[in-house]
Amino acid sequence: MARREVAVGDFRQRATELVRQVEETKEPITITRHGVPVAELRAVTVDPKALLGSVKYLDQDLVRPVADPDDWEAAS
C-alpha cells in the first residue's frame, strides 16, 4: 500500500479527522510542505510486555513525605 501524504495546510484544517483515522487504521500519514516530507503522524503502540517490571516499588502511603523534613536544607 502506498504511504498516504497530506500537505501541511490540509493537515492544519483536518487534524482531528486525520488523527482519528490514524488511530483507527494504524496507518501512518506523512505530512509534507511543498511536496517534501516534514513530519509523520502515526499511532502510538505500547507493547504490554515492555511495561512488565517497569515499576519496581510503589509505596502504599502515597501522602507520606519521602524524607524526614529535618533532613532537608533550605537554600538561603
Mean pLDDT of 19-39: 95
> What does the pLDDT average to over 54-73?
72
Mean pLDDT of the region 32-45: 94
Local structure of 18: helix, strand or coil: helix
Question: In the prediction, which pLDDT does 65 show?
Answer: 73
| In the chain, where the domains are located | 1-44
Q: Which helix (H) or strand (E) holds 51?
A: helix 48-51
Is pLDDT above 80 for 56?
Answer: no
Pick the CATH number of 1-44 from 2.60.40.10, 3.40.1620.10, 3.40.190.10, 3.40.390.10: 3.40.1620.10
